[in-house]
Amino acid sequence: MTPPVFAHGSLRLYLLALLDEQPRHGYELIQALSDRFGGTYSPSAGTIYPRLSKLEEEGLVSKTTDGRKTVYEITDAGRAELEARRPELDAIENEVTDSVRRLADGVRAEVNDAMRSLRAELASAAREAKRASTTTSASAAGATGGTSSTGWSGDARAETSRTVHEADLVLSEFRQQLRTDLRTHANRGRVTPESVTLLRARLAQVRADVLATLAEH
């Protein structure tokens, strides 16, 4: 997803909005911006501090020193400008929400694709087990002069069917739980591209492990 880009003057306005929530030092502002944009936008110190200095020169923010940290706080003049530009700030907030939602949708799509793929592999394994069971049953019948098998074939088919059904339930439960988690974190602006990368890698590993287990039988 393309990282959001602030229009001219919009970043300083968003910094005012963050400081209106609570006083922050520079790193906290950088982290807050990264969190709000779901990790898709993380400004450098060289981007943030010059704007903070400009806001201070204009009397919109003040700063105090807390140990080795410089803490910035919005002034009354800063709040007045923030209120005067509220429609512009609302438009920025809408863009943040849309960006995070698109990222969450992408993660859900990745989960759905992975689940469908794994479900298809399990179904294929079930068909293979059924064919193998049928072949074994036929061979046993031929060896005994046409008598029926001992019932192992039917039991194997029933067990395979139950196992596939159980696996399908597990996959569905996982997908539902993860979708709920994604919605919750998306609303907080905390779904990051790294989450998608991690999810894809872990699901691929799970699929490989399951297939390896199936190949052993």
pLDDT in tens, 134-188: 666 566 555 555 444 444 456 666 777 777 778 777 777 777 777 777 766 665 6
Mean pLDDT of the chain: 75
HSE of 86 in the Cβ direction (CA atoms, 13 Å)? 4
Q: Could you tell me the two tokens for 42?
A: 């993380």
Rounded to the nearest 5 degrees, what angle is found at the Cα of 142, between the Cα atoms of 139 and 144? 110
Q: Residue 40: give its domain's CATH number.
A: 1.10.10.10
pTM here?
Answer: 0.45
CA–CA separation, 20 vs 30, rounded Å?
A: 15
CB atoms within 10 A of CB 78: 23
pLDDT in tens, 31-57: 888 777 666 667 788 889 999 999 999
Is 191 in a helix, a strand, or coil?
Answer: coil
Q: Do 124 and 197 lie in a common domain?
A: yes
Q: How many domains does the chain have?
A: 2
**Is 110 within the bounds of a domain?**
yes
Q: How far is CA 88 from the centre of its chain?
A: 29
Q: Do 72 and 174 lie in a common domain?
A: no
**Spatial CB neighbours of 212, under 8 Å, sequence gap ≥ 6:** none
Domain boundary among 50, 84, 118: 84
CA–CA separation, 205 vs 183, rounded Å?
A: 24
Domain boundary among 31, 57, 84: 84
DSSP code at position 40: S
Q: Alpha helices of 22-151 — where are they, by DSSP H?
A: 26-36, 45-57, 76-84, 86-143
Burial label, 2 (beta-carbon count in 10 A; 0-12, 13-18, 19+):
exposed
- Better-scored residue on pLDDT, 88 or 130: 88
